[in-house]
Chain A
């Protein structure tokens, strides 16, 4: 009787072992299948390179076509005074929407993230966030900045600034330009440089920034800000007649 009992127990134990073995087998094969689906890093890099090349080519084409438009416009306004006025108006609205490269005096701001690494400890550091950028840009606008760019990307009236979710977060402008939070962010603004400088140096203006991250700014007489490549379309807003 005892013998049978112990044998049953052995059977049960072996049953558990078999179950665990097959379960682990199933899990591992599932993982391997998952891994096969993902592309290798090199493939992705090659693809990115390709798209980058494509982008620069398209950019060239856009510039070419815009040059053509300009020459047409100039040809069209030859002579009459009123059409010259229209062209000037067009130029002004282009600048307003950020559709032309502009240059002028202004301020260059460098936002340096906190890079201090105390004893190599990886404490959760407070990084530069989208809020910081938005508030600084707002401050500049209030001080009369006429054109603003973040890391060379033109900030227009339609630009949205937001932080991405996930572990490796970064700030994105319009979901197109990626701004790393671990590197120095450069904000350029064209406007009356004394006013811009004064706005930022006013005590308490930058109090929202983390004290560990450094903000430097310098006045400059010649800042060039490239045009925005975002197509501006109005799908919903229509002028009221």
Chain B
């Protein structure tokens, strides 16, 4: 619940605030966002299976984002599209997490 409130506040901030992040960081931002989304899905799954730990969530959220953006940057410099690795891994994990979340939710609904 509180997570959704935070998300809404963030969206509002993004709409209202005029922060200038240089254009050339835009592609890295995309990869970082993907990593963050993966972390959030992982957190949702963990909450449902009742083994959520805030410290792991936070470290995963920032660590994944930084690593993904860093890899994308490195790939850019080397001419190898490493960001594809990040996209595939995080994309696949988002779907995996979603599948587990779905199963947990349906099981919960049935048990009631």
Contacts and interface: CB of A to CB of B under 8 A. Distances in A.
B54 A9 contact: yes
B98 interface: no
Given A9-B58, A14-B40, A19 B3 contact: no
A15 B43 contact: no
Contacts of A12: 6
A22 to B, nearest CB: 3
B19 interface: yes
Contacts of B29: 20, 23-24, 27
30 contacts: A6-B54, A7-B2, A8-B2, A9-B54, A9-B58, A10-B2, A10-B3, A10-B6, A10-B43, A10-B54, A10-B57, A11-B3, A13-B6, A13-B39, A13-B58, A14-B4, A14-B40, A15-B6, A15-B7, A16-B36, A17-B33, A17-B40, A18-B12, A18-B13, A19-B13, A21-B33, A22-B11, A23-B14, A24-B29, A27-B29
A81 B94 CA distance: 98
Given A7-B3, A10-B2, 9 more contacts: A11-B5, A13-B6, A15-B13, A17-B36, A18-B10, A21-B10, A22-B10, A23-B19, A24-B26
A132 B63 CA distance: 56
A49 B58 CA distance: 60
A220 to B, nearest CB: 49
Contacts of A20: 10, 14, 29, 32-33, 36
B54 A14 contact: no
A238 interface: no
Interface residues of B, number: 32
Contacts of B33: 17, 20-21, 24
Interface string B5-25: 111111111110101010100
Interface residues of A, number: 23
Interface of B: 2-15, 17, 19, 21, 23, 26, 29-30, 32-33, 36-37, 39-40, 43, 54, 57-58, 61
Contacts of B5: 11
Interface in A80-106: none
A202 B90 CA distance: 70
A21 B12 CA distance: 11
Contact of A17 (B7, B15, B17): B7
A203 interface: no
A26 B14 contact: yes
